[in-house]
Amino acid sequence: MMKLHIASDHAGYELKEIIKQRFADRCEWVDHGTFSSDSVDYPDYAHPLAEAVASEVDGCGILICGTGNGMAITANKHAGIRAALCWSHDIAALARQHNNANVLVMPARFIDADTAADLVDTFLSTPFEGGRHERRVQKINLR
């Protein structure tokens, strides 16, 4: 079982629950909320998830909001977080292969549940390619 952090705002709540259920046999979820469809502010969920992922060696997580942008922008404020907004199979694969993304961000209002499940599966099963991409990923860090 792989330990995985997950969080959403109200726009991503339903998809978060679907993803948790679909991957229940593969993932041990640490759910940082939200826990209903009541309106909330995405940074209140992105920050705790980013802190949790950044505090672990090889931590990884999933963030979901309406467009994905609020979650991605917020999570990427944290050192060590590489949060990638993904909406297609190839973008999710490349986020792992080239960017060594450690947070998958999904736009709940623009993808269906099957696409989201494919993005999660791709994110979990695609390794970082390293090589020239390692140098580039290292250069992301602020000096």
65 binds ligand RB5 (CB under 6 A): yes
Our CB check for ligand RB5 shows the closer of 59 and 70 to be 70
Task: Tell me the window of 54-62, 66-74, 96-104, 123-131 that interacts with ligand RB5 (CB under 6 A).
Answer: 66-74
State how far the alpha carbon of 116 is from the alpha carbons of 26, 100, 138, in Å. 16, 19, 28
34 prior amide bond cis, ω within 30: yes
| Both structure tokens of 82 | 């590489």
Report the C-alpha gap between 11 and 64 in whole angstroms.
8
Interface residue with ligand RB5 among 4, 7, 11, 19 (CB under 6 A) is: 11
**Residue 98 catalytic?**
yes
Q: Taking CB under 6 A as the criterion, which residues in 68-97 touch ligand RB5?
A: 69-70
| 91 in Cβ contact with 75 (< 8 Å) | no
Contact flag: residue 9 with ligand RB5 (CB under 6 A): yes
Q: Can you tell me which residue has the tokens 């696409």?
A: 115
67 binds ligand RB5 (CB under 6 A): yes
Let me know how long the chain is: 143
Q: Which of 65, 78, 89, 133 is catalytic?
A: 65
To the nearest 10 degrees (0 to 180), the angle between helices 89-97 and 113-125 is: 20
CA distance 69 to 143: 25
Part of the chain binding ligand RB5 (CB under 6 A), chosen from 29-37, 64-72, 80-88, 94-102 = 64-72
Identify the residue among 66, 89, 126, 133 touching ligand RB5 (CB under 6 A).
Answer: 66
Query: According to the binding rule CB under 6 A, does residue 42 interact with ligand RB5?
Result: yes
What is the contact surface with ligand RB5 in residues (CB under 6 A)? Answer: 9, 11, 42, 65-67, 69-70
Active site residues: 65, 98
